[in-house]
Structure 1
Amino acid sequence: MGTILNLATEETCEYDSSLITPNPDNRYYIRLAFEESEGTAPFMVRLTENESVLGEKELNEYIDSIHVDPLTDDFDTYNYKLYSITDANGCEAYPEGMTGDVNVIVYATPEAEIFTANQLCPPAPSSSGSIGPRVELIGDGDNGTWIRWRQLNGPHKLDIQDSTEEAAFVMIPGLDEYAVYGFRLLSKKGTLKVCEGMADIELTIFEEPRLVENGGEVDAGPFTVQYWSDIVYLNATTNSGTGVWTTLTEGVTIDDPSSASTSARNLILYKDPDYISNEFIWTVNNGVCSEVYDTVSIIRYDIKNYDGFSPNDDGINDYLIMQGLNDSQGDYLTRNIFTINIYNAVGNLVRKITQDDEFTLPASMDIPLKPDERIVWDGLSANGSKVQPGIYYYGMEYYTIILNSQQVEINRVTGTPRRGSIVVKGY
């Protein structure tokens, strides 16, 4: 009355009905044929699965199929036979009227996994002279009989070594490049019916922060000496990640520690013989690689002026000289803008001097000016006559403009107004 049409031995993948979207291709069907002369459709059919009787199912055609869902942790063999057939008239088939059986090898679909971290700082190149650092791809093929690693995407075609093993290696072509690569681990079981599982990873290779002396761009800036101003402009660089400024000097504050270009305030003065500098640390971290830091020292001197001078043209101490008002040239140009008003003892303005006033030191002077010294007064009043000996007073206002290499102003620092006295001698 009924016959199983499947081959004697077949293979299938486990149909896991617990999944949200189980794979319909993995559902196994047993094909049956009924003799029209021996019964009337529909037919109620029951099968045995390894001698266990399954539930009854209705078939409406004379050639139809019943699906079964054998389960396994790895692979198992199931045997299916006809147990009973009842047609629409209630007639039951005799045992000799039910023929055929099928052995089904059921494979669990491999649940591939990848354990490699998806964010990496590339290790140093191997000593074997490879083209770049070697990154290990670690996965689990879940007992698959066929395993393969494949590259899905990325800026370079990479060489995957041991690509048929769960632990493979990939050669990264460069250290100085942020890059994203996609990889897939394929795992298969079965021969007649292939059950395939896969896992993907998006692997981000971060550029390693490195100091300038190590081929990178992490730099806190040059050692700096400055005068009068208690504010300094910090300018750092990095090739990767983000940086933060800190200071080891008590009382010093940083406007925006997370900005590479920022100002620091309340610098302490250099004290002789005790060497005191302002110390700053620029620390760079990209969240994956080891952090890198660079330090910079800033020495701050106060403006110095000599207490007195004697503008009598004898070639000795003829000019009032101040230290620390000259412009400086380095990674950044600093331009000092100042106004000095000189008053006599009764408060009358005698002379107004700015940074645009130039005084040339006569060749007859035995002692030349130091690089950080500047002549600020030649002892003449505004009308060009020499002033009388006595005590004079000055008030000075000043600020510094910081320019970049394109002569564009990037910062301006205002100094605290200064007051002082000057002794003009007649000899």
Structure 2
Amino acid sequence: MLNQISKHIYQTLRRFLFLCLLLALPYAIQLAQGQESYFARLLTPDQAICESGDVEIQIEFNTAIDGPVDVGIEVRGDVSGFLMRSPKFVENYYPATDGAIKTQVHTVDYPDDNEITIKLTTGLDGDSTTYNESDMWGQTVIRIDRIPTAPFSAGDDIVTCGLSTTLNATPGSGNGHTSYLWSGSGGNFSDNSIANPVFTANNEGTYTLTFTQINGVCQANDQVNVTLNGQPAATIDSESTICGSGNATINLTLQGNGPWQARYAAGNQESTLNITSSAYSFSRNITGETEFRLINVTDVNGCVTSYNGEAGSTVVIPDLKVNADAGEYTEVCGDLVELNAAAPGMGIGQWSGDGVFDDTSDPKTGFRISALTTGVVEKDLTWTITNGDCLSSDVVRVKFYKKPETDLFTAGRDTILYNKTDYTLQASLPFGSGVWAVIEGNAVIAGINDPTTPISNLRYGLNRLRWTLSNGVCSSVSDDVTITVTGVKHYNGISPNGDGKNDVLVIEGADVVANNELIIFDVRGKVVYQSRDYQNDWGGTDNSGKILPDGYYYFNFRGEGVDIKDYLIIKSSVY
């Protein structure tokens, strides 16, 4: 039957096309080759509805078919299978006069299905010709979206510390077309298209946030209140310093919701402070450099911020104590010394003392005394270090020794002894210490460190002794003295004529003969002149100073160890 109807339509269509061939032959040929006939076709587009709704069904009829026409429709679900069939969904319709397109509303309400398919199934024209599905074109798919249901929720209200929190929405059921959307003002979401983003607010406060789950054309909304109490914060600082030990003032600046409880460590000792003001100070007695470190701070809401050495969470109270070291006791030869204080690890050093410093701020500066008038001078010099309010001083003693020079002392005059083997040395000792040494001879020195010591056991001939002057750390300097031992020597004549030659009686060595006495006799044995402690000054006079006549005389010179008797000729005439 269907084939006969199709052939009939086809023949009728060919006759119609032939009549138009003269006007549009190319078009008629194309139409005959490429277009098939249909009874009706479904124009309703695929679409989605939320759970239920009205679908506007549009059916386009072939206007070449005689009316009235009927058309049937079938609705089938993806879960339920066959849902509805209406053999006369459209009945007694005249496409040629009422319009090629017939619109009719159909209500969809199939809660068990996710989608339904609508298609045309049968047709009947005015000639009572029946058409089947092969004569019907098109079908429509209606997706049925669902409103999200339990456990859909934006989550419990949140009260937390800080300015951010993770939201805890629970999505409801979906049908494969689900998406999420968070919205709310006063902050931002890490990703507002997921169920559990992080919400970060600009300020503390309570924020109402909306969670929307979208299932196709369906959606559900829920709200949650998020209270962000903020996070407490604290910084620590101090301008205090100590000198070894002392009180340090520590300042805390707090932010957030007070009152607060702050825990801190001073060195290895931890303590807790209860604070009601955002600006807070306290004092601690400390010894040595000490670090104050914030451990945590808790606000009135129980919010805690912990610290681990971040900037502003630690402060070091410096110990400015200094220990001056002026160096060791020093001895030098001369008037100049190079000092050797320890350079300060911190602070500024300064020398002070009686004398001249090359640079008072140099720990190893040169120092010169103004005068070295004695053999040794001691100076106490002070090295002072100043570091802030801290001060330390140390004193070093420097001993300056005058340098011995040969022009500053003598071992005495060279001496001739007559008939004498002992003597008292006559060296000088301007400063320092001296020591005698026998260089030639066998002399015995009574006191080797005594500049005027007696000596004995002098040998006849040359005796050489050395006087060495030492002064502290200076190099020693020496001077020699010679003592020549010989017999007393005299002459047997004088010529007291004032010519400066042989005017007096010379007895060499008389001045070294103790308790000496000179007696002059005439040829008759009469004493004409007598003198004790003779000084080689008798010029031929008697005891009254009268000039004795020329002639022969006798003399006796005696004293300790000496007794000389001999003649003497006085001859004052000038020839």
What interval of TM-score do these two structures reach, taking the shorter chain for normalisation? 0.5 to 0.7
Aligned to 2:397: 202
Q: 1:121 aligns with which of 297, 320, 333?
A: 333
Q: How far did residue 163 of structure 1 move?
A: 1.7
Distance in 2 of aligned mates of 1:204 and 1:242: 16
Task: Say whether residues 1:8 and 2:237 are aligned partners.
Answer: yes
Counterparts in 2 of 1:110 and 1:398: CA distance versus 1, 3 Å: same
Q: How far did residue 113 of structure 1 move?
A: 2.0
Give the secondary structure class of the aligned counterpart of 1:235: coil
Is the Cα contact below 8 Å between 1:149 and 1:186 reproduced in 2? Answer: yes
Q: 1:54 aligns with which of 269, 293, 315?
A: 269
Q: 1:398 aligns with which of 536, 540, 559?
A: 559
Counterparts in 2 of 1:211 and 1:7: CA distance versus 1, 3 Å: farther
Distance in 2 of aligned mates of 1:70 and 1:418: 89
Is the Cα contact below 8 Å between 1:359 and 1:376 reproduced in 2? Answer: no
Aligned pairs (5 A) from 1:303-322: 303=488
Q: 2:357 aligns with which of 157, 160, 170?
A: 160
Aligned to 1:337: 515
Is the Cα contact below 8 Å between 2:434 and 2:468 reproduced in 1? Answer: yes
Q: How far did residue 235 of structure 1 move?
A: 1.2
Q: How far did residue 65 of structure 1 move?
A: 4.0
Q: How far did residue 338 of structure 1 move?
A: 3.4
Counterparts in 2 of 1:95 and 1:223: CA distance versus 1, 3 Å: farther
Give the secondary structure class of the aligned counterpart of 1:268: coil
Distance in 2 of aligned mates of 1:7 and 1:288: 59
Give the secondary structure class of the aligned counterpart of 2:361: coil
Aligned to 2:24: none
Compare relative contact order (CA 8 Å, sep 6+) and give the higher one, 1 or 2. Answer: 1
Aligned to 1:139: 341
Q: Per-residue CA shift, 1:10-64, capped at 9, x if unaligned?
A: 342463xxxxxxxxxx33435699xxxx9xxxxxx97414xx64166999xxx97
Q: 2:380 aligns with which of 179, 182, 185?
A: 182
Distance in 2 of aligned mates of 1:359 and 1:375: 14
Q: 1:79 aligns with which of 292, 296, 299?
A: 292
Q: Percent identity?
A: 17
Q: What amino acid is the match of 2:488?
A: I
Counterparts in 2 of 1:322 and 1:197: CA distance versus 1, 3 Å: closer
Task: Say whether residues 1:360 and 2:540 are aligned partners.
Answer: yes
Aligned to 2:555: 376
Q: Per-residue CA shift, 1:113-166, capped at 9, x if unaligned?
A: 2336532221xxxxxxxxxx5432221123224222222xx4xxx332222222
Q: Per-residue CA shift, 1:202-251, capped at 9, x if unaligned?
A: 32322222222xxx2x1111111120111111111122112122212342
Counterparts in 2 of 1:109 and 1:340: CA distance versus 1, 3 Å: same
Q: 2:444 aligns with which of 233, 253, 259?
A: 253
Aligned to 1:302: 487
Distance in 2 of aligned mates of 1:57 and 1:267: 96
Q: What amino acid is the match of 2:286?
A: V
Give the secondary structure class of the aligned counterpart of 1:12: coil
Distance in 2 of aligned mates of 1:84 and 1:68: 23
Q: Per-residue CA shift, 1:93-127, capped at 9, x if unaligned?
A: 978699996612424533332336532221xxxxx
Task: Say whether residues 1:171 and 2:373 are aligned partners.
Answer: no
Aligned to 1:125: none
Q: How far did residue 304 of structure 1 move?
A: 5.0
RMSD between superposed Cα atoms in Å:
5.0
Distance in 1 of aligned mates of 2:324 and 2:414: 55
Q: Which runs of 5+ in 1 are unaligned?
A: 16-25, 39-44, 72-76, 86-92, 123-132, 271-276, 310-320, 328-333, 342-349, 367-373, 378-395, 400-416
Q: What amino acid is the match of 1:220?
A: A
Distance in 2 of aligned mates of 1:220 and 1:170: 34
Counterparts in 2 of 1:107 and 1:237: CA distance versus 1, 3 Å: same
Q: How far did residue 67 of structure 1 move?
A: 2.2
Distance in 2 of aligned mates of 1:57 and 1:198: 40
Counterparts in 2 of 1:194 and 1:7: CA distance versus 1, 3 Å: farther
Paired residues in the alignment total 292
Counterparts in 2 of 1:117 and 1:290: CA distance versus 1, 3 Å: farther
Counterparts in 2 of 1:220 and 1:95: CA distance versus 1, 3 Å: farther
Aligned pairs (5 A) from 1:232-311: 232-270=423-461, 277-303=462-488
Counterparts in 2 of 1:398 and 1:95: CA distance versus 1, 3 Å: farther
Counterparts in 2 of 1:181 and 1:116: CA distance versus 1, 3 Å: same
Is the Cα contact below 8 Å between 2:356 and 2:370 reproduced in 1? Answer: no
Q: What amino acid is the match of 1:67?
A: N
Aligned to 2:418: 227
Structure number with greater Rg is 2
Is the Cα contact below 8 Å between 2:517 and 2:558 reproduced in 1? Answer: yes
Distance in 2 of aligned mates of 1:284 and 1:222: 16
Is the Cα contact below 8 Å between 1:180 and 1:203 reproduced in 2? Answer: yes
Distance in 1 of aligned mates of 2:481 and 2:474: 23
TM-score (norm 2): 0.41
Q: What amino acid is the match of 2:411?
A: A
Aligned pairs (5 A) from 1:71-110: 71=289, 78-81=291-294, 103-107=315-319, 109-110=321-322
Give the secondary structure class of the aligned counterpart of 1:199: strand
TM-score (norm 1): 0.53
Q: How far did residue 325 of structure 1 move?
A: 4.8
Distance in 2 of aligned mates of 1:323 and 1:6: 109
Distance in 2 of aligned mates of 1:102 and 1:221: 80
Q: How far did residue 285 of structure 1 move?
A: 1.4
Q: What amino acid is the match of 2:246?
A: R
